[in-house]
């Protein structure tokens, strides 16, 4: 999904970015081996890029979700928001780095039920929080808790929604092209 209006701000690199954005871009390059297109466009707002990277790392490091569960949450949010860039990127991460079964990733991408009950409940609740704008019904919460998740995890999903909203919306506005590394998992809504 892309916004009708496309921002004309150019992608930035460490040589033409401001000090904070330069630091974040250099860190990404050192950690990932490349600078994702999303980071290059988000660097036009150093606060946006910094907040995204900080929140994303907090979700990854201390959410209490396993890497596979994290990916399910991030994919569910990105798909619900129609972010072609993030669905491709998180599909690649799911396939190559976090051990999500490809059948689960494909189910999320295609909007079909997930066979694993606990991952299904996680996906459904993350999606529900997005669709209902943080106002889940009692039955929504009870189903999530009955699947073995806890109340704290609800707040961790809120963190993931905040982080993905930053990246998904920026990608909509920039029409961010999918990086070559993620092309094998390109997606359109």
Q: What confidence score (pLDDT) does residue 87 get? A: 98
Does residue 59 lie in a domain region? no
Question: Averaged over 99-122, what is the pLDDT?
Answer: 96
Number of domain units in the chain = 1
Does residue 144 lie in a domain region? yes
Q: What confidence score (pLDDT) does residue 189 get? A: 81
Question: Averaged over 44-50, what is the pLDDT?
Answer: 98
Residue 141 banded pLDDT, cuts 50, 70, 90: very high
pLDDT at residue 110 greater than cutoff 90: yes
Closest C-alpha to 3, from 138, 175, 180, 139: 175
Residue 46 banded pLDDT, cuts 50, 70, 90: very high
pLDDT at residue 1 greater than cutoff 80: no
Residue 136 banded pLDDT, cuts 50, 70, 90: very high
Strands (E), the chain: none
pLDDT digits (tens, 9 = 90+) for 165-185: 999 999 999 999 999 999 999
Does residue 116 lie in a domain region? yes
Evaluate whether 91 touches 78 at the Cβ level (below 8 Å). no
pLDDT at residue 117 greater than cutoff 80: yes
Q: What confidence score (pLDDT) does residue 10 get? A: 98
C-alpha dist (Å) from residue 1 to 9, 66, 106, 154: 19, 28, 18, 27
Does residue 107 lie in a domain region? yes
Q: What is the CATH number of the domain that holds 179?
A: 1.20.1290.10
- Show the domain range for 71: 66-185
Does residue 14 lie in a domain region? no
Does residue 49 lie in a domain region? no
Does residue 99 lie in a domain region? yes
pTM of the predicted structure, to 2 decimals: 0.96
Does residue 137 lie in a domain region? yes
3-state SS, 97-115, equals: CCCCCHHHHHHHHHCCCCC
Q: What confidence score (pLDDT) does residue 165 get? A: 98
Tokens read off for 2: 């892309």
């Amino acid at each position: 999904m892309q916004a009708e209006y496309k921002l004309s701000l150019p992608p930035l690199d460490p040589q033409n970015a401001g000090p904070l954005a330069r630091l974040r871009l250099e860190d990404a390059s050192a950690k990932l081996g490349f600078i994702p297109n999303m980071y290059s466009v988000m660097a036009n707002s150093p606060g946006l890029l910094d907040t995204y990277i900080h929140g994303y790392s907090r979700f990854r490091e201390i959410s209490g979700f396993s890497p596979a569960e994290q990916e399910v949450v991030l994919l569910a949010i990105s798909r619900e928001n129609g972010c072609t860039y993030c669905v491709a990127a998180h599909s690649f991460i799911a396939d190559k780095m976090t051990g999500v079964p490809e059948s689960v990733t494909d189910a999320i991408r295609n909007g079909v039920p997930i066979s694993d009950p606990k991952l299904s409940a996680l996906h459904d609740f993350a999606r529900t929080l997005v669709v209902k704008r943080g106002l889940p019904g009692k039955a929504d919460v009870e189903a999530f808790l009955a699947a073995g998740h806890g109340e704290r995890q609800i707040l961790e999903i809120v963190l993931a929604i905040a982080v993905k909203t930053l990246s998904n919306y920026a990608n909509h506005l920039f029409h961010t092209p999918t990086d070559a590394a993620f092309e094998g998992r390109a997606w359109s809504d």
